[in-house]
Chains A and B, each alone.
Chain A
Amino acid sequence: MLTKEFIGLVAEASKLSKKIVEELLTTTNAIVRENLMDGKTIQLQGLGALEIKERKERVIVHPRTGERSVSPSRNQLVFRPMANMKDELKKI
């Protein structure tokens, strides 16, 4: 599903206009990004949490040459779904 369709669904459910929903969504994402950059975990009610996790340094192997090198540690954005969201979607 693309963002447009999703906005339509959200607008319908919240009884707001699509335009406002779109604006709200953009702003939400901006806020989320900013807070993530501040090192905060974002709690999304009913969904789960978005957080930045450090991926630690590790040895990687180049698949073609077999050469080994060290991959530096880096951060990644991780979504941790809440238990009830997980359960709800486990079986459809």
Chain B
Amino acid sequence: MAEKLSWTELRRALAARTGVSEKEAGAFLNAFSAQLTEALKSDKQVKVNGLGTFKLQAVAPRKSVNVSTGEEFTIEGYNKIVFAPEAGVKELVESGKQKEVKKSEIDPLKKLGAQAEEIVDILGDLGQSPKEEKPKPEPINEEPERQLVVEDPQPEIVEEPDIQPVVEEPKPEKKKNHFFRDVLICFIILLLLLFGAYFFFRAQLSNWIDQLVQQPASEPQTVQVVEPAPDPIVVEEPVAQDPMAQKLHYAGWITEEPMHQDSRLAWMAKRYYGAKIYWPYLFDTNRDRLANPNMILVGTPIRVPELTAEQKDTTNAQTLANIEMLLKEAEAAMR
């Protein structure tokens, strides 16, 4: 260990140099050390001109594992004291090296262009002084590291600006090319979107058009949007309004249910009648509203008729024939 300058020695030197009594010098030094701690507590950073800055650095809590038990536990966060010497002091210390560090005969800023050459060199260095194997995994303070990186490549930095302008120059040209390409891409995307929208809405559009065409012919009812309003009041009304549309006669009405996003006629049939095969009845009673039973607008009110025992009887030949007929009609409407 190097020689030490103790507190007492420091106090004496201080008193001798300034002409202050040793007691006062001691009071000052004690106050200095006590206040430095206090100031760090309150301010987290204390700058002392002529020396450097003392800082408190927060270390975040982190998880760790108990090596023997494998148990996870958290290392709590804490504050670390960091000292950054002032630039002048730092330089002084670094320059002082030339006198002191005689052991390392490394010429400063040794730079090796080719990696192979360099590796050979390093190997040589390591071979000469086995002690120097340790330094690599020893980055205690990060600051000098950064500086080194800045200092060492100075000759390289001269080269780099030469490369960069070359990169910058072609940029405007590229931009021009890109402009036309971008416009083209935008145009193509727009076209695709239009096509997509067309296909997406085509079915609904045709539905609407069909309904617009059909409705004036069958009855003076308004467009679909207006329709739900009169309907929900009395369930039996629709029967009176469009007896022509449906082909079969039903005992009565269970309800009228608006079409849901994920619903299907077959599922409604299963819910109300217990089996999907009865769905053509629903088509039958809602012909005026369903141009195509595969494409039903969400919210379309669906009339659910009450089925007689006979209409539900799947062993009855007549019933089956009816359902078959309705199914064919529905399929025809799907096309």
Contact = CB atoms under 8 A, between A and B. Distances in A.
B200 to A, nearest CB: 50
Interface in B1-53: 1-7, 10, 13-14, 17-18, 20, 24-25, 27-43, 45-52
Contacts of B118: 68-70
A56 to B, nearest CB: 3
Contacts, number: 247
Contacts of A76: 85, 90, 93-94, 141, 144
A52 B96 contact: yes
Nearest to A8: B35
Nearest to B42: A1
Interface string A47-70: 111111111111110111101111
A10 B91 CA distance: 28
B135 A58 contact: yes
A50 B97 CA distance: 16
Contacts of A58: 135-136, 138
B241 interface: no
Contacts of B148: 60, 71
Contact of A74 (B14, B47, B81, B97): B97
A55 B25 CA distance: 34
Categorize the interface residue count of chain B.
Answer: 35 or more
B79 interface: yes
Contact of B135 (A15, A50, A52, A57): A57
A37 B140 CA distance: 21
A41 B48 contact: no
Contacts of B135: 55-58, 73
B27 A15 contact: yes
Contacts of B100: 39, 52, 75
Interface stretch (B104-112, B172-180, B232-240): B104-112
A37 B20 contact: no
A42 B7 CA distance: 8
B41 A16 contact: no
B85 A13 contact: no
A1 B43 contact: yes
A6 to B, nearest CB: 6
Contacts of B97: 54, 73-75
A58 B126 CA distance: 11
B78 interface: yes
Given A6-B46, A16-B24, A81-B81, A43 B39 contact: no
Contacts of B41: 88-89, 92
B279 to A, nearest CB: 70
A14 B31 contact: yes
A30 B134 CA distance: 34
Contacts of A10: 28, 31-32, 35
Interface of A: 1-3, 5-6, 9-11, 13-16, 20-21, 23-33, 35-60, 62-65, 67-79, 81, 85-86, 88-92
Interface of B: 1-7, 10, 13-14, 17-18, 20, 24-25, 27-43, 45-52, 54, 56, 78-79, 81-83, 85, 89-90, 92-94, 96-97, 100-101, 104, 106-113, 115, 118, 121-122, 125, 132, 134-136, 138, 140-141, 144-145, 148-149, 152-153, 156, 160
8 contacts: A6-B35, A10-B31, A16-B28, A27-B18, A37-B92, A62-B153, A74-B94, A77-B90
Given A75-B97, A89-B37, 15 more contacts: A14-B27, A21-B28, A26-B50, A28-B32, A55-B135, A55-B141, A57-B132, A67-B113, A67-B156, A70-B121, A72-B110, A73-B97, A79-B83, A86-B81, A89-B79
